[in-house]
């Protein structure tokens, strides 16, 4: 398994199809946003890739947020075959990048908080509320 930080914005074209589906996000738009961030703000964007040869097995990515004291983790995905040890390495690489930027906090939105809380020490910070207007 190769686990590395990707710097080329074209990686967004390869991973967008594996971005988890969401009620509020579109994979293509998320991929375009990642491409734009990697192009316009490469020093403030981190993408960690897990690959077995040329087969994508997982990723985690995020970016610094202007005028905030945290880094936003936009997306994390791993194929079930990747193995927990490799997931842990990728997450630790992402955390190391966050600390290298001078931050101590990372925030994310997830529908599966228990895994991140149990495995990586996240705690509930806020509740995202939504109302769909007709």
Give the SS3 label for residue 26: coil
pLDDT tens-digit series, residues 31-74: 999 999 999 999 999 999 999 999 999 999 999 999 999 999 99
The whole-number pLDDT of residue 132 equals: 61
Q: Which residue has the higher pLDDT, 29 or 111?
A: 29
Confidence check: pLDDT of 26 > 70: yes
The whole-number pLDDT of residue 113 equals: 65
The whole-number pLDDT of residue 133 equals: 61
CA separation for the pair 47, 64 (Å, rounded) = 12
Q: Where are the domains of the chain?
A: 2-120
Instruction: Assess if CATH 3.40.630.30 describes domain 2-120.
Output: yes
CA separation for the pair 6, 9 (Å, rounded) = 8
Burial of 81 (C-beta count, 10 Å sphere; 0-12/13-18/19+): exposed
CA separation for the pair 84, 95 (Å, rounded) = 16
The whole-number pLDDT of residue 120 equals: 80
């Amino acid at each position: 398994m190769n686990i590395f930080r990707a710097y080329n914005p074209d990686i967004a074209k390869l991973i967008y199809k594996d971005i988890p589906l969401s009620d509020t996000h579109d994979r293509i738009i998320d991929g375009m946003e990642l491409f734009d961030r990697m192009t316009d703000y490469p020093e403030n964007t981190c993408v960690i890739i897990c690959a077995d040869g040329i087969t994508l097995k997982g990723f985690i990515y995020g970016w610094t947020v202007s005028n905030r004291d945290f880094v936003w983790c936009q997306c994390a995905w791993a194929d079930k075959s990747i193995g927990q040890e490799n997931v842990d390495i990728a997450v630790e690489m992402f955390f190391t990048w966050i600390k290298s930027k001078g931050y101590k906090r990372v925030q994310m939105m997830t529908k599966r908080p228990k895994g991140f809380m149990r495995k990586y020490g996240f705690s509930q910070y806020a509740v995202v509320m939504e109302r769909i207007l007709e």
